[in-house]
Structure 1
Amino acid sequence: MSKSSINIGLIQMSSSSVVEDNLNKAEMLIKQSVSEGAEMVVLPETFALMEKYNGQKLDFVETHRQGPIQSWMQRVARENEVALVGGTIAIQSSNAKRPFARCYVWDSQGELITHYDKIHMFDVAVKEDEVYSESDNTLAGDETKTFDYHGIKFGLSVCYDLRFPELYRKYQAQSVDVILAPSAFTKKTGEVHWQLLLQARAVENLCFVAASNQTGLHDNKRKTYGHSMLIGPWGDVLGALGDEEGYINHTLDIEQIDTIKKRFPVHTHRRL
């Protein structure tokens, strides 16, 4: 049975290198979002740990379906009766020094729905003194992931994935209604590309985009952009935060997608 709407809450954090502090803050924001009607909440990328130094996350790597952060996500989803999209955490791979950056999705009973391993690695020089090499300590995933929740189809992605439209074309071909994009988008690139990319992914695939972001100055001295956003299939900004920590809720009218597709059936006009 399909559902015509869902209230999604985006959690925006300035995560630190102290896991316990981050989880306490996230739980507080989740509870506030749920108290205002959120049926699903999305945490940002690296919500539980923003590394102070490269390799710190190796002290917190968990195995699939076992570990304190996964147990925390499961408990919080169950206790708050909300679907929880768990940003990313480090999960053991075949390479001991390169865990996956994995996004878990839990239902409102605390049951695991699915997980997605970030595919595209952020290996760039944002500026001369701000260089990232994510692939040095993270193993890339190679599978797209969709899931159905209350009759709505979701597609999973993370941060840097937003720059690769072919990923989202796969989701469009599967009639995804909502793209989820937990992120830790840098301040420098966010100022020029964040909203642009979110709107492009929504418009070209005629779907909603829900993107929660990290924000502010972290204790590793790096800055993230904030401005978590919900975008409609016509490219309209349905809700957005600034650079403060907090949350934003918005009810997505899923039937809007069919309305647009009927009068503007661009998805049927592809030739290449």
Structure 2
Amino acid sequence: MSKEITIGLIQLSSSSVIEDNLQQAEKLIKASAADGADMVVLPETFALMEKYNGQKLDFVEQHLGGPIQGWMQRVAKENQVAVIGGTIAVASGVDDRPFARCYVYDKQGELVTYYDKIHMFDVAVKADEVYSESNNTLAGDETKVFELMGVTFGLSVCYDLRFPELYRLYQQQGVQIILAPSAFTQKTGEVHWQLLLQARAVENLCFVAASNQTGEHDNKRKTFGHSMFIGPWGDVLGSMSQQEGFINRAIDIEHIEKIKKRFPVHTHRRL
């Protein structure tokens, strides 16, 4: 019998108003869960898309305590759906540099694990669009693998997608689905979003489920949308355009083993 899990990707155009973002996210989570999702994946910075650099420092939560964490626990329990909580700012112990933390809650609203984004987005996308994430975010230094509903997941966030060594570690740990909540920019998304998702899936013979921010935000920056599921053969199993909403997909985990038997590239590594 095939082992299946249905995942919902939640695509948002988050603003700098937390209450509005949570209201829209909850509406989409309810719809995705009602449509059969066992798990929903929120995008990076789902609760707060900063209007100015450093705005998030006014909303830093303590680990295991805070309104956004409480909200995630409640919506998971009320909708009987596991919640992958994009990222929120959580105190790191370093002043003015919280972690960008992705929490995982099960269907009962219990904390499973969390992941602190490792790779910081310090780039100039173009002359007037410069990001310096490390100025007000502390990088994490631990990979995170967890199991839910008999499936093994590996956590990553957005800019992590450009660093294949992270995902090779996950492949060695038997990860079957890579999760990648993101806020990928419009400019870089047009050329690299799907390419990177497919590369990570093909390299590691696993599924990738990536939710993204979309549209123009109230800080005037634009994100690419196109949340999507990629199969271990690199095929696009489902994709959105740039509207807010959700997309659900049932994933057949046994498909990985069928490919590995036929095409055992994972056994042929030399370096």
Shorter-chain TM-score range:
over 0.9
3-state secondary structure, aligned to 1:220:
coil
Is contact 2:10-2:42 (8 Å) kept? Answer: yes
Measured in 2, the distance between the counterparts of 1:78 and 1:245 equals 23
Match of 1:85 in 2: 84
- Counterpart of 1:189, as a letter, is T
Superposed, 1:114-263 pairs within 5 Å as 114-263=113-262
Is contact 2:76-2:82 (8 Å) kept? Answer: yes
3-state secondary structure, aligned to 2:113:
strand
Q: CA deviation at 1:218?
A: 0.3
Match of 2:73 in 1: 74
Q: CA deviation at 1:25?
A: 0.2
Measured in 1, the distance between the counterparts of 2:53 and 2:232 equals 38
Scaled by the length of structure 1, the TM-score of the pair is 0.99
Measured in 2, the distance between the counterparts of 1:81 and 1:3 equals 22
Measured in 1, the distance between the counterparts of 2:48 and 2:231 equals 30
Is contact 1:203-1:235 (8 Å) kept? Answer: yes
Measured in 2, the distance between the counterparts of 1:223 and 1:46 equals 14
Measured in 2, the distance between the counterparts of 1:257 and 1:129 equals 43
Structure 1 vs Structure 2 CA RMSD: 0.8
3-state secondary structure, aligned to 2:152:
strand
User: Per-residue CA shift, 1:48-83, capped at 9, x if unaligned?
Assistant: 000000110011000000000000000000000000
Aligned length: 271
Is contact 1:3-1:151 (8 Å) kept? Answer: no
Match of 2:112 in 1: 113
Measured in 2, the distance between the counterparts of 1:178 and 1:254 equals 8
Measured in 2, the distance between the counterparts of 1:118 and 1:3 equals 32
Is contact 1:45-1:87 (8 Å) kept? Answer: yes
| 1:4 aligned onto 2:3 | yes
Structure 1 ranges of 4+ moved more than 2 A? none
Q: Specify every segment of 5 or more residues in structure 1 that has no aligned partner in the other structure, as ranges.
A: none
Is contact 1:3-1:152 (8 Å) kept? Answer: no
Q: 1:256 to 1:3 in 2, by over 3 A?
A: closer
- Counterpart of 1:271, as a letter, is R
Measured in 2, the distance between the counterparts of 1:95 and 1:54 equals 17
User: Per-residue CA shift, 1:64-114, capped at 9, x if unaligned?
Assistant: 000000000000000000000000000001212000000000000000000
Is contact 2:2-2:252 (8 Å) kept? Answer: no
Superposed, 1:9-88 pairs within 5 Å as 9-88=8-87
Measured in 2, the distance between the counterparts of 1:230 and 1:136 equals 32
Scaled by the length of structure 2, the TM-score of the pair is 0.99
Q: CA deviation at 1:3?
A: 7.1
3-state secondary structure, aligned to 2:119:
coil
Measured in 2, the distance between the counterparts of 1:95 and 1:148 equals 30
Identity %: 77
User: Per-residue CA shift, 1:133-160, capped at 9, x if unaligned?
Assistant: 0000000000000000011000000000
Measured in 1, the distance between the counterparts of 2:250 and 2:150 equals 15
